[in-house]
Chains A and B, each alone.
Chain A
Amino acid sequence: MTKSGFDIKKHFLVPKHTKVSEKEKSEVLEKYHISVYDLPLIVKNDPAIKELDVKPGDVVKILRKSPTAGEAVFYRCVINV
């Protein structure tokens, strides 16, 4: 929440971000045969994950609404700036 009391996470353009558990994380990496840093990145202090308690190397799951696919799953790896 910003000083103005505006919560960007409630804005309709901001998709839902959740932290991925260690178990799920290794499943994702196994599924795509990649290391964490081959995932798309997200900066640690990105406003959408500010209150998520994540550290660099964690994976964030993003659920996006898509006009064609209904809901699309996306993963991002947290990094420092």
Chain B
Amino acid sequence: MPEERIEEPEPSVSKRIGSIQFSVFSPKMIKKMSAAKVVTPELYDKEGYPVDGGLMDIRLGVIDPGLKCKTCGSKLKECVGHFGYIELARPVIHIKFVNLIYNMLMSTCRECGRVLIPQAKIAKAKADLDKIEEESGIESRRLEIRKVISSMKTVNKCPHCKAKQHKISLEKPTTFLEEEKRLSPIEIRVRLEKIPDDDVFLFGMNPIHIRPEWMVLTIMAIPPVTMRPSITLESGERSEDDLTHKLGDIVRINQRLFENINAGAPEIIIEDLWDLLQYHITTFFDNSVAQLPPARHRSGQALRTISERIKSKEGRIRHNLAGKRTNFSARTVISPDPMIGLNEVGVPLVIAMKLTVPERVNDWNVSYLKKFVEKGPEKYPGANYIVRPDGKKKKITDETKEASLEELQPGYTVERHLLDGDIAIFNRQPSLHRMSMMCHRVRVLPGRTLRLNPSVCNPYNADFDGDEMNLHIPQTEEARAEAEILMEVQTQLISPRYGLSVIGCIQDAISGNYILTKGLTFPKEEAFDVLYSAGIKDFSLPNKEKITGKEIFSAILPKDFNFTGHSRSKDEKGSDKVVISNGKLTEGVMDKNNLGEGSGLLLRNIHKKYGKEYAIKLIGDIFKLGIQVLIRYGFSTAISDTDLPSDAKAKINEVMENVRKEVDELIVTYRQGNFDAFPGKSIEESLELKILELLNSARNKAGELVANYADKESHTMIMAVSGARGNLINLAQMATCVGQQALRGKRIDKGYNKRTLSCFREQDLTPIARGFITNGFKTGLTPAEFFFGSMTGRDSLMDTALRTPKSGYLYRRLANAMQDLKIEYDYTVRNASGRIVQFEYGEDGIDVSKSEKGIVNVKRIIKSNL
């Protein structure tokens, strides 16, 4: 443990935020900061000029080009806008403060306005709050305040003036009732005004900044025009912003209310208008209040008012502030190309001519860069723009080309087309881990898709059924260096999750190497050809007429490599041991266990001993070798792969017949009432369990028979055994028996009354009536069997469709909760405020990406240091 604390270097900041104060606007403050008082709902006069005292008053800012702001004198884009205000005829409750108001009404006296805590205890309550804040932060202070408030709800006599307290209830959204009698906002405001400053502290507010009565609006601020600009439609008509519409409603109703009050209209009319004003102001702040119908456009679409602008995924915060968009990026469909390197990405020519890399002109590269400018934007490799030293961009066209060439000199920048070897960041959503964004080298190719080596499908979780991926071109030297050093594919080879290679051979590459190492021999000439056509040039083969597959595979291994491990399948001798000594594969076969991603230590050991560059090259070579072998060997799958000899068929039929009989017997004993239940289960449940067990064992027996009798040399079998694709169960399903279809872990029992389908008898418990499929895919399913298969198929489809968004949201919450965690130099995990989360990372302090499958190989470390 380091004794001295490492001092953080002082970050260079020109200005630092000292503190932030949140508060509620007072009526005085609103008036003071206002540029105009709005009195009329009219927007424009006959000439289309904004009306004075209207909602588009040019004192509130300008959105028309040519006009000047009356308040600050600046033009469009310079003027940030200014607030206005309207005087409300009657006070209105602010919807966002309803709960606070409710709390305060309930916990203060209706007569004297004091908090319902005896005078003697007030000081102590305040001290308690301060102590809690000091101990465990502002968040627990808030919790404590909530507790204090809820403790006051039951007090029915004021401890100060002894007045009786009535029960106050809130009728959502904005109506307060005291003993069934309605409290008008005027009365509420009067009560809030009575709360003395000293008592306000107990509600977690500072009366200098927030007085309770300010939560009942008497004056409303009108947001500047610049935050609710109107747009001119093609027809020349003006379309106003949602907020302007809402404000228009407010001003109109407010005026009518004024007029009616002045004219001495009956109380009912005034109250109706007042409620309407309350509704409009409420929906102006929040148009998704649960109990209110949302205000709508004439088209029926709900208005997007202030809360909706900020809230949720499409709101300001997640959409505009947290969501950034970039230039110099491309997106298309991806397709595989095993002949490009693992750390390369194939970029279509059309994209390579649109995306550019800026190159600074200096004395040594003028002539080199001039060549690009000369070619122009239409010919590859050309350039699209030149940038003058003052930052002015100039497009290169046929007309400007000559002039551009002329003026190009050191200090300029040329935005040239993408070239082979340029650095790009490649990404596939959802970007769930850091391997979802890796740095690749550009390889410009014909075609219209982005190409990637199939080996790197796994970290991106990509396939080629229509997946699209994104490509970004870093534009500065720093960004490129960072991407190259931190994000390049080879640096991401070892997963930080399980400490093994995330990149390995897949599919054909696995079956190819399996066939090669299992006992294939090539004549000498062909052996050379295989290796050469896989792009391997530096190798040596034994000088023999016949060369075995193991020798060919050994040719690409490093000469001093030693390894022992286990393979997934058995070799010719029936052993699963894999031995490589001095770069020669002497025993065993290569399959998914050693070549696949995330399995086996072969690739991990190569990476450890020979480094990331070598590892990536070797994986690519092994991949290409596998494919070349398959090309020569010929590899495909056929229906005949699932053919079985007749004695195997007889045996399988026997198994099926036996299980059918056994189940029948079980059902008979059950019907006779002689079936004994398992402990803790009902008789029916036990019977189901027993039947399921029998059927599963029957399917397994059939599967074993298939595995034993099926042609070991068949390509389907090779794929299953080597782990390239599919498994033995799939093979058995094709050859003989698909097996039991299960819904929620049970046999299918839903459908019609007491039966699954109308072709079965009621209460039929036999296997075929409950979703057991005796046929295989090759023989074909009966209609009932097919229907059962579709049932489980649909169920699993539904399940995935429902699970994906759920797990996505779970991930979002986790990522947000842990985004600031960091391992410090003393191995503790701490969050941004320096609080400890773990005392040693992962309790053991192991960096998994530097381990082998999460384990530190101590023996080897000692050995290598001897």
Q: Is the CB of A38 within 8 A of B844?
A: no
Task: Please pick, from B826, B828, B854, the residue contacting A68 in the complex, using a CB distance under 8 A.
Answer: B854
Q: Is the CB of B835 within 8 A of A68?
A: no
Q: Does B843 contact A (CB under 8 A)?
A: yes
Task: Write out, one digit per residue, whether chain B residues 828-843 have a CB within 8 A of any chain A CB (1) or not (0).
Answer: 1000001111011011
Q: A31-B1, A37-B136, A56-B135 are in contact. Are A68 and B844 (CB under 8 A)?
A: yes
Task: Please pick, from B135, B835, B842, the residue contacting A38 in the complex, using a CB distance under 8 A.
Answer: B835
- When distances are taken between beta carbons in the complex, the residues of chain A under 8 Å from B835 are 34, 37-40
How many A-B residue pairs have C-beta atoms within 8 angstroms? Tell me.
Answer: 46
Q: Does A25 contact B (CB under 8 A)?
A: no
User: Which of these binds chain B: A1-9, A16-24, A47-55, A73-81?
Assistant: A73-81
Q: A31-B1, A33-B5 are in contact. Are A39 and B840 (CB under 8 A)?
A: no
Nearest CB in chain B to that of A74: its residue: B839
Smallest CB separation, B440 vs chain A (Å): 34
Question: In whole angstroms, what is the CA distance A72 to B839 when docked?
Answer: 9
- When distances are taken between beta carbons in the complex, the residues of chain B under 8 Å from A75 are 839
Q: A32-B826, A33-B5, A79-B136 are in contact. Are A64 and B836 (CB under 8 A)?
A: no
Q: Does A13 contact B (CB under 8 A)?
A: no
Q: Is the CB of B135 within 8 A of A79?
A: yes
Smallest CB separation, B129 vs chain A (Å): 13
Nearest CB in chain B to that of A38: its residue: B835
- When distances are taken between beta carbons in the complex, the residues of chain A under 8 Å from B828 are 32
Nearest CB in chain A to that of B135: its residue: A37
Q: A33-B5, A34-B834, A68-B846 are in contact. Are A73 and B839 (CB under 8 A)?
A: yes
Q: Number of B residues contacting the other chain (C-beta, 8 Å)?
A: 19
- When distances are taken between beta carbons in the complex, the residues of chain B under 8 Å from A69 are 840, 842-845
- When distances are taken between beta carbons in the complex, the residues of chain A under 8 Å from B135 are 37, 56-57, 79
Smallest CB separation, A77 vs chain B (Å): 9
Smallest CB separation, A81 vs chain B (Å): 9
Task: Please pick, from A34, A57, A72, the residue contacting B840 in the complex, using a CB distance under 8 A.
Answer: A72
Nearest CB in chain B to that of A36: its residue: B135
Smallest CB separation, A72 vs chain B (Å): 4
Q: Is the CB of B842 within 8 A of A68?
A: yes
Question: In whole angstroms, what is the CA distance A23 to B843 when docked?
Answer: 24
Interface residues of B in 816-866 (CB under 8 A from A): 826, 828, 834-837, 839-840, 842-846, 854
Interface residues of B in 1-47 (CB under 8 A from A): 1, 5
- When distances are taken between beta carbons in the complex, the residues of chain B under 8 Å from A38 are 834-836
Question: In whole angstroms, what is the CA distance A64 to B137 when docked?
Answer: 28
- When distances are taken between beta carbons in the complex, the residues of chain A under 8 Å from B845 are 69
- When distances are taken between beta carbons in the complex, the residues of chain B under 8 Å from A68 are 842-844, 846, 854
Nearest CB in chain B to that of A39: its residue: B836
Task: Please pick, from B1, B844, B854, the residue contacting A66 in the complex, using a CB distance under 8 A.
Answer: B844
Q: A31-B1, A32-B826 are in contact. Are A72 and B843 (CB under 8 A)?
A: yes
Nearest CB in chain A to that of B854: its residue: A68
- When distances are taken between beta carbons in the complex, the residues of chain A under 8 Å from B839 are 32, 72-75
- When distances are taken between beta carbons in the complex, the residues of chain A under 8 Å from B137 are 37
Smallest CB separation, B566 vs chain A (Å): 23
Q: A37-B135, A79-B135 are in contact. Are A32 and B844 (CB under 8 A)?
A: no
Smallest CB separation, A56 vs chain B (Å): 7
Nearest CB in chain A to that of B843: its residue: A72
Question: In whole angstroms, what is the CA distance A40 to B828 when docked?
Answer: 12
Question: In whole angstroms, what is the CA distance A37 to B834 when docked?
Answer: 10
- When distances are taken between beta carbons in the complex, the residues of chain B under 8 Å from A79 are 135-136
Nearest CB in chain B to that of A76: its residue: B836
Question: In whole angstroms, what is the CA distance A57 to B843 when docked?
Answer: 24
Question: In whole angstroms, what is the CA distance A62 to B839 when docked?
Answer: 11
Nearest CB in chain A to that of B835: its residue: A38
Task: Please pick, from B5, B136, B836, B842, the residue contacting A40 in the complex, using a CB distance under 8 A.
Answer: B836
- The 15 listed contacts between A and B (C-beta, < 8 Å) are A32-B826, A32-B836, A33-B5, A34-B835, A34-B836, A37-B137, A38-B835, A57-B135, A68-B844, A69-B844, A69-B845, A72-B843, A73-B839, A75-B839, A79-B136
Going nearest first, the 4 A-B pairs with the smallest beta carbon separation are A69-B844, A72-B843, A68-B844, A66-B843
CB within 8 Å of B: which residues of A?
A: 31-34, 37-41, 56-57, 64, 66, 68-69, 72-75, 79
